[in-house]
Amino acid sequence: MKDEPSERLDPRAKVVWRVSGALNMLPLLAGAGFASYVLLRWVEVSVFIGVLPLLGVLAMAVFSVIVVPGLRWRRWRYEIRPDEVDLQRGVWWVSRTLVPLARIQHVDTRQGPLQRRYGLSTVVFHTAAGANQIPELATPIAAEARDRIAALTREQDEL
Amino acid sequence: MNSEAEPLLRLHPAAMVIGALGTIRRSISATVIPGLVFLFSQGLSPWTIALVLAGLAVLAALAAVWGFLSWRATSYGVVGGSFRLRQGVFQKSERTIPLEHVQSVDTVQGIVQRAFGVYEVRVETAGGGTSEPDASLPALGRGATEDLRRGIEGARREPVGAERESGPEVLRRLSTRDLLVAGATSGQIGVALSLLAVGSQVFDEFFSEAFFRNLVDSLAPNALVLALILIPAVALVAWLLAIAGTVLAHFGFTLSREGDFLYIKRGLLERREATIPLRRIQAVRISEGFLRQPFGLASLRVESAGYGEDAGVSAVMFPLLPFDEVQALLREAAPEFAVSPALRELPRRALRRYVFRALIPALVLAAAGALVSFLVFEASFGLLAIGLLPPFALYGWLRFRDAGWALADDRLVVRSRSLARVTVVAPRRRLQSRSVLQSPFQRRLRLATFGTEVASGGGGSALEVTDLGFDDARYLAVALSARADGRREREGALP
């Protein structure tokens, strides 16, 4: 097994993850704001304790929006070899997954609204035991990867 | 419309009765509550009772007519390489399933079917889910069932004339004694307990609370005595229920094989017959339950995949047999899975991770217990929870000791324990993806978790080795690659 797969995701992935991370944090922030409000207004704890929920969630949000996407992008690597697809991902829990092309049943590309805005796509490939994906590739590169996986899969079938 | 040479066949006439009973059951469950409300709200006058009875009679008559009509409208057959089913009284439908998409032909014989000596036949394809069969024929006679089975499976099999005549060879039967032992050690007491809980609520409705209080007061004035009587009694009933459940499901369990198909027959009230094509078996699971391992007993399951993308089942292959005889049975039933190599153990440094992981719930409990008892009761009895630590640590050690893996003759063998000790055997060519996962703690100890999966019902079934050496994990990931697979297949293609 090589030390690391060769290809990286598109650098714009970080932007997409930041935006989607921020959007995901919104409800949590609202909840924490409400909790702080309740604590201050009705429970009447001191200001320092009352703002704790809000501050905590705010710190979490800053961390997950600013720090994590960078780390995540640096770790995420992939490589499509003639016999298998090699994926490496994870910020703290690092996982390395090898998917034999001979087991891939079909591939497709997907694009969410946010991804469309930044011209990114996700390649999803399915085996009989579930799906794997390479997220956030520039759309033309994703299309190329999809076609390459499909072609290689066919080749494996003919062997 | 359809003018092919082979005509479609009708169901057994018992289908009319079975269909009618089904209709009645469905409509009764929908009307029983409004009906009862009506009955009681009017006061039980003879007139309302007559009205309700008349309603029931009309319902029965309608159901009978409907049963007849749908029997007349239903026909099936194997025509030109596919199975056809035509149904529907008003809305006609015709389903065609290509024979190569048929996963198995299973039969179920419920109580009503047994009364008529007919079978419900389910033609399962791999496209649909596992719960709902793709085509279900509610009543076929014994002969028609066999004919249909041969019609569908015969087309897929190599015609081996002599062997076909001999019928399936019985590999193993579950004796009544083993059946009872299987029930007693099934460890399904939890399930039975929850059933009891539901049952007790129904029970409550029938007996007044005062009756209970009297009973309790006279029997056991002391709460402790009551608990001492009640807890073992409830446990005993739950245990008996668990045994009864196993007996119902697995009575007369028979595993047989004919050519490339395994046949499983089981059931006391509802007789079931299932087919498992050997080439669809992805993995075999040998499970030594917590209560069974001391007696050297195990059970066998197969993970079998469907056609195409998903579907497939995880089915009991044999509910109880001595662990020593597992390999012999596998050699006859599914030789590809009959290996028991010496397993590689985990490195010593993984032990503390196993013990720590097992201790986490105990630590949380102990901390919470201590906190609550100090703050709320201002006493230190919460520290008693510390007594939980040794058994949990022991459990962690057991899990460490029993974990292991081996790669032998292109087959991956993984053993692990949750409560039961489970050994999974999967040929390399069945493995889907492989992954090596490493947490920050594992990285410090140069450990990793290796995982792979086989296709099975509900997406996939995982095989995992937690905390093996990082180098071993990488070795497995490489050694199990599909590359050697391609080479072997090409060699296999040589005459």
pLDDT in tens, A71-120: 999 999 999 988 889 999 999 899 999 999 888 888 889 998 999 999 99
Number of CB pairs < 8 Å for A and B? 84
**ipTM above threshold 0.95:** no
State how far the alpha carbon of A130 is from the alpha carbons of A105, B280, B369, B433, B460, in Å.
Answer: 10, 17, 41, 9, 6
A82 and A54 in a common domain? no
Q: Which of A27, A47, A72 is the last residue of a domain?
A: A72
A83 and A136 in a common domain? yes
Give pLDDT, residue B448: 93
**Closest in A83, A98, A156 to B433, CB measured:** A98
**Closest in A1, A127, A159 to B486, CB measured:** A159
Q: Give the single-character DSSP code of B258.
A: E
Query: In terms of pTM, does the model score above 0.80?
Result: no
Residue A6, in any domain of the structure = no
Give pLDDT, residue B437: 93
Q: Is A93 on the interface with B (CB under 8 A)?
A: yes
A94 and A51 in a common domain? no
Q: Is B461 on the interface with A (CB under 8 A)?
A: yes
A83 and A49 in a common domain? no
Q: Which of A48, A72, A96 is the last residue of a domain?
A: A72
Interface probe for B, chosen from A93, A104, A126, A149 (most Cβ of B below 10 Å), is A93
* Dihedral sign for Cα atoms in the order A133, A138, A139, A144: negative
A21 and A93 in a common domain? no
CATH code of residue A154? 2.30.29.30
**Closest in A84, A90, A129 to B460, CB measured:** A129
Give pLDDT, residue A124: 92
Q: Is B436 on the interface with A (CB under 8 A)?
A: yes
Q: Which residues contact B50 (CB under 8 A, 6 or more apart)?
A: none
How many beta carbons lie within 10 A of that of residue B486, not counting itself? 16
Residues of chain B in contact with residue A94, where contact means CB-CB under 8 angstroms, are: 437-438, 443
Residues of chain A in contact with residue B436, where contact means CB-CB under 8 angstroms, are: 95-96
A68 and A82 in a common domain? no
A24 and A43 in a common domain? yes
| CA dist., res. A48 & res. A54, Å (int) | 11
Interface probe for A, chosen from B282, B412, B432, B478 (most Cβ of A below 10 Å), is B432
Q: Which residues contact B418 (CB under 8 A, 6 or more apart)?
A: B399
Q: Is B434 on the interface with A (CB under 8 A)?
A: yes
A126: pLDDT confidence band, cut at 50, 70 and 90?
confident
**Closest in A92, A126, A130 to B439, CB measured:** A92
- For residue B235, give how far its alpha carbon lies from the nearest alpha carbon of chain A (Å): 39
Residue A94, in any domain of the structure = yes
| CA dist., res. B16 & res. B75, Å (int) | 13
Asked whether the beta carbons of B290 and B336 are under 8 A apart, the reply is: no
Give pLDDT, residue B147: 84
Q: Which residues contact B481 (CB under 8 A, 6 or more apart)?
A: A83, A84, A98, A100, B434
Residue A43, in any domain of the structure = yes
Give pLDDT, residue A70: 93
Cβ distance of B310 and A83 shorter than 8 Å: no
Q: Residue A49: which domain range?
A: 13-72
Cβ distance of A94 and B438 shorter than 8 Å: yes
Q: Which residues contact B171 (CB under 8 A, 6 or more apart)?
A: B255, B256, B257, B329, B332, B333
A93 and A33 in a common domain? no
**Closest in B453, B455, B482 to A100, CB measured:** B482
Domains present along chain B, CATH in parentheses: 9-159 (2.30.29), 179-250 (no CATH), 279-346+403-493 (no CATH), 348-395 (no CATH)
Residue A3, in any domain of the structure = no
A46 and A107 in a common domain? no
Residues of chain B in contact with residue A1, where contact means CB-CB under 8 angstroms, are: 474, 477-478
Pairing of the two strands A120-127 and A130-138: antiparallel
Residue A7, in any domain of the structure = no
DSSP B19-37: HHHHHHHHHHHHHHHHHHH
| CA dist., res. B101 & res. B248, Å (int) | 31
Residue A99, in any domain of the structure = yes
Asked whether the beta carbons of B408 and B426 are under 8 A apart, the reply is: no
Q: Which of B280, B276, B283 is nearest to B453 (CA)?
A: B283
Cβ distance of B433 and A96 shorter than 8 Å: no
Q: Is B314 on the interface with A (CB under 8 A)?
A: no
Per residue in B207-222, is it b (16+ CB within 10 Å) or e — as a string? Answer: eeeeeeeeeeeeeeee
A86 and A132 in a common domain? yes
Residue A5, in any domain of the structure = no
Q: Structurally, how many domains does chain A consist of?
A: 2
Look up tokens 């995901």; give the residue: A24
Q: Is A133 on the interface with B (CB under 8 A)?
A: no
Give pLDDT, residue B43: 67
A67 and A17 in a common domain? yes
Splitting chain B (495 residues) into consecutive groups of 10 residues, what average pLDDT does each group show? 60 87 81 73 74 85 89 86 83 78 79 86 64 71 84 60 58 88 78 69 61 65 71 83 86 88 86 82 89 90 64 76 92 89 91 92 84 75 76 92 90 90 91 91 92 75 88 89 52 34
Q: What are phi and psi of B3, to 5 degrees?
A: -120, 45
Q: Is A1 on the interface with B (CB under 8 A)?
A: yes
| CA dist., res. B264 & res. A50, Å (int) | 64
Cβ distance of B436 and A129 shorter than 8 Å: no
Asked whether the beta carbons of B159 and B320 are under 8 A apart, the reply is: no
Long-range contacts of B481-485 (CB under 8 A, 24+ apart): B481/A83, B481/A84, B481/A98, B481/A100, B481/B434, B482/A83, B482/A84, B482/A100, B482/A101, B482/A102, B482/A103, B482/A156, B482/B429, B483/A83, B484/B410, B484/B428, B485/A100, B485/A102, B485/B428, B485/B429
Residue A94 has which token pair? 């690092």
Element (H, E) at B137: strand B135-141
Residue A8, in any domain of the structure = no
Cα within 13 Å of Cα(B433), Cβ side: 26
Q: Is A110 on the interface with B (CB under 8 A)?
A: no
- For residue B309, give how far its alpha carbon lies from the nearest alpha carbon of chain A (Å): 5
Give pLDDT, residue B131: 42
Q: What are phi and psi of A77, to 5 degrees?
A: -140, 155
DSSP chain A: --SS-SEE--TTHHHHHHHHHHHHHHHHHHHHHHHHHHIIIII---HHHHTHHHHHHHHHHHIIIIIHHHHHHHH-EEEE-SSEEEEEE-SSSEEEEEEEGGG--EEEEE--HHHHHHTEEEEEEEETTEEEEEEEEEHHHHHHHHHHHHHHHHHHHH-
A88 and A58 in a common domain? no
